[in-house]
Amino acid sequence: MAINLELLLKVMVQNKASDLHIRGGEQVYLRLNGKITPIKSSHMTNEDVEKMIFPLMNDRHKGIFNKNREVDFSIDGKESGRFRVNVFNQKNKICVAIR
């Protein structure tokens, strides 16, 4: 099964995680009771992360990200609820924290 954001948000909500951490070249992690926990079989490349997150950004968000290498915005996860998103660049990897 392909990893998509809606699925990750559902896993986040089902597990009552406070945060979802995505970084290119690594597994996806949940913050559960303050502990960072990997989601099995969730490895994503930098390109996977970019393809998942960039379509969520409007032109203003993309401009801010390109200038500052970081941007904050919110998304509506449909059935999962509303989330705050922080996209940033760390060691040439696209990273995302969703709360």
**pTM, to two decimals:** 0.90
- Give the Cα separation of 97 and 52 in Å (integer): 13
Structure tokens at 38: 């990997």
Q: Determine the length of the chain.
A: 99
Q: Determine contact, residues 30/37, Cβ cutoff 8 Å.
A: yes
Half-sphere exposure of 17 (CA within 13 A, CB side): 26
**Per-residue confidence (pLDDT) for residue 2, from 0 to 100:** 61
At 69, list the tokens.
Answer: 């290498």
Residue-wise pLDDT for 61-77, tens only, equals: 999 999 999 999 999 87
